[in-house]
Amino acid sequence: MRVLVAEDEDLLADSIARGLRWEGMAVDIAVDGADALEKASVSRYDVVILDRDLPRIHGDEVCRQLIHDGRGERILMLTAARSVTDRIDGLSMGADDYLPKPFAFGELVARVRALARRRDPAMPPLLAARDVVVDTARRLAFRNGTRLPLARKELAVLEVLLAADGAVVSAEELLERVWDDNTDPFTNIVRMTVMKLRRKLGDPPIIETVVGEGYRIL
């Protein structure tokens, strides 16, 4: 899952991003409204966490523009205002959810995951191929009933490959879906992560490299 955090309070933005990354999400940060729109124009996000009071371009206008562009990202609007009227205003602009500050981080995570399930056809609670199973809710992976000691990025790659249901997933798509925009697009991080994932999955091999195209689950 890839998330854009559009928040001009540096400490809050960094705290949200750090916590969501710990939850296994790829997270980018935008420091103002113009930055948010620019990032959303070049990257595919499942959820945008949007502070309403952004500088340069107000969060309300960012929300309207994202909806007008029709890229399908879900919008969770944050604001210090707590009145019912403010909440109605945010939702009437097209935001999918609204969370007043201050908020509990656990609630933020739950709302982000719920919105991501609404972006595309919901990811099933269990993804499986042969004897490999990923519990997407608990973020655990098993092979033949034994839990696999996967790092967060390894688990995220496995989820994307299993969700593709045998279709080839390119390295570029994995990079976009699993990593954030601070990652060098010319890095070999995808290949290295797949190599580590294969080693932890063990035999018989379940991930096939399709030369010149990407990877798929056998």
Q: Is residue 182 located within the same domain as residue 112? A: no
Q: Is residue 18 located within the same domain as residue 111? A: yes
Backbone angles phi, psi at 177, to 5 degrees: -80, -30
Q: Is residue 26 located within the same domain as residue 112? A: yes
Q: What is the CATH number of the domain that holds 180?
A: 1.10.10.10
Q: Is residue 139 located within the same domain as residue 115? A: no
Alpha helices in the chain (DSSP H): 10-22, 33-42, 59-69, 84-92, 105-119, 152-163, 171-178, 189-201
Q: Is residue 9 located within the same domain as residue 112? A: yes
Q: Is residue 74 located within the same domain as residue 178? A: no
pLDDT in tens, the chain (218 residues): 899 999 999 999 999 999 999 888 899 999 999 999 999 998 889 999 999 989 999 999 999 999 888 788 999 999 876 556 666 665 667 788 988 888 999 999 999 988 887 765 556 678 999 999 999 878 899 999 999 999 989 999 999 999 888 999 999 889 888 887 777 766 789 999 999 999 999 999 999 999 989 999 98
Q: Is residue 102 located within the same domain as residue 157? A: no
Neighbours of 21 (CB within 10 A): 15
169 DSSP assignment: B
Q: Is residue 99 located within the same domain as residue 151? A: no
Q: Is residue 11 located within the same domain as residue 107? A: yes
Cis peptide before 55 (omega within 30 of 0): no
- Which residue among 119, 146, 168 closes a domain? 119
What local confidence, expressed as pLDDT, does residue 122 receive?
Answer: 54
What local confidence, expressed as pLDDT, does residue 18 receive?
Answer: 94
What local confidence, expressed as pLDDT, does residue 126 receive?
Answer: 86
What local confidence, expressed as pLDDT, does residue 89 receive?
Answer: 64
- Which residue among 60, 90, 119 closes a domain? 119
Please give the tally of structural domains in the chain. 2
Q: Is residue 133 located within the same domain as residue 84? A: no
What is the pTM for the complete model shown? 0.71
Q: What angle do CA 85, 91, 92 make, to 5 degrees?
A: 85
* Full domain range(s) for residue 184: 126-217
What local confidence, expressed as pLDDT, does residue 176 receive?
Answer: 83
Q: What is the CATH number of the domain that holds 23?
A: 3.40.50.2300
Q: Is residue 113 located within the same domain as residue 185? A: no
Q: Is residue 39 located within the same domain as residue 86? A: yes
Neighbours of 34 (CB within 10 A): 14
- Which residue among 119, 145, 167 closes a domain? 119
d(CA 49, CA 37): 12
